[in-house]
Amino acid sequence: MIYQFLPVESVHYGADIVNDQLITEIRKLNGKRALIVTTNSLLKVDEYQKMIQSLHAEGITTYEMSVKQHVPGKQLMGDIQKIRAFGPDVIISCGGGSPIDAGKILSLALAEGIDSEQELYPFSEMLRTERPKMGRYVPNFAIPTTLSAAEFTSIAGATNSKDQIKYKFSHPHMTPQQVFLDPVFTKQTPDWLWLSTGIRAVDHAVETLYSPTPNPVNSGLALQALKKLYHYLPLSHDHPENMEYRLECQLGAWLSLFSVVNIKLGLSHSIGHQLGALYNIPHGMTSAIMLPKVMKFLLPRTIEQQAAISEVLGFSEPGKDMREIAEQAPEIISGLIKRLEIPHRLRDFNIDAETLPQLVANVLTDIRGEENEFVMETQELEKEINNLIKSVW
């Protein structure tokens, strides 16, 4: 057995840490040209504008691009020729999981000479025949404004404009080298997005615990992540202006997805990828929809792990056997989602039930690519996944 650390060199955390440390880290790279990947909603936010002004004041030129959620491949690669001509020596992703994923994939594209959307997908895990080399690559920094924890992974996804399937890409060098957890940058994040991505972090932690490739580091951190998120997400919901609560949620998200290359996430994530790609449902909402139902679905095969969830959150009562303790876990997570007032049914997003067979087909493609033994050993997999999807409609 071996444990692999992803090349995250530093995690800077605390209020105003971007203002204090970003330029220092760029100077260490002798950086002069920064590609900024963000969203339209952040372009006029005060903290973002202050960051851009400070970069310019230090003689660092910028090229700004914005991306939509789920990283549409056509949009992502639309400016690749201009970006290559600009010649960035650092990529700074500011926003939620989508701009952070976009920054990772752009680093891959620049390193591998990928110049169009059509050229991109053969490098995905679903289609590639060999691993990208990324011998010379543009390092990327991440300033997250949500709790998706995309900044702590070497994985990114982009949605194909033709088949609407979300394709996954990965390479250790795609991992952000520097991460800045600054609650000040999250002040303008809409409450629904902040809290729902908090459930995404809960999803990371839960599926880490019953990963088919567990290890003591990630399992221990996942339990601590659940404690932080279960405690601080409701506080952040009730007191959104409190920077301490927001920072604690950010730390919980970090613990939920630590060096994820060592584990495989599970069925909730596989379904969530395709819910996002097909219906444009935000990532956090997909976890709110799927996680409790998936936990119930997998309960017979994950009793010990789900019992640990109930125990760490204080729901273990004397006299109960392990199965009884485990059976509480899906209800605990479901209760948290309801406490945070997050929509958690497909019909809440006006999904037409007639489109569910296409969703099932896409999910099965994702599942088979993941080869998760907890899921793959399901008898009549297609029938069971179909029933699971119907249960959340």
The token pair that represents 56 in the structure block: 């310019």
Boundaries of domain holding 213: 191-391
> What is the DSSP annotation of 157-200?
EEE-TTT-PEEEEE-GGGS-SEEEE-GGGGTTS-HHHHHHHHHH
Q: What is the mean pLDDT of residues 259-279?
A: 88
Mean pLDDT across the chain: 94
Residue type, position 214, single letter:
P
Given a cut of 90, whether residue 264 has pLDDT beyond it is no
Q: What is the pLDDT of residues 14-59, one digit of tens each?
A: 999 999 999 999 999 999 999 999 999 999 899 999 999 999 999 9
Whether 330 is covered by a domain: the verdict is yes
pTM across the whole model: 0.92
- Cα atoms in the Cβ-side hemisphere of radius 13 Å centred on 325: 20
Considering the domain boundaries, does residue 3 fall inside one? no
Q: Residue 374 has what pLDDT? A: 63
Residues 31 and 80 in one domain: yes
The length of the chain in residues reads 393
Lookup result for tokens 């990208």: 132
Do the domain assignments include residue 292? yes
CATH of the domain at 287: 1.20.1090.10
- 164 in a domain, yes or no? yes
In sequence order, the 6+-apart residues with CB closer than 8 A to the CB of 318 are: none
Other CB atoms within a 10 A radius of the CB of residue 184 amount to 18
Overall domain count for the chain:
2
More confident residue, 37 or 317: 37
- Would you say residue 196 lies in a domain? yes
Alpha helices in 37-90 (DSSP H): 46-57, 73-76, 80-86
Tell me, yes or no, whether 48 and 142 share the same domain.
Answer: yes
Instruction: Give the pLDDT of residue 378.
Output: 74
Amino acid at 171: H
Place of tokens 């909603």: 41
Domain-embedded: residue 365 = yes
pLDDT bucket at 154, cuts 50 / 70 / 90: very high
Residues 198 and 174 in one domain: no
pLDDT at 266: 86
Q: What is the DSSP letter of 91?
A: E
What residue has token string 């110049």?
Answer: 115
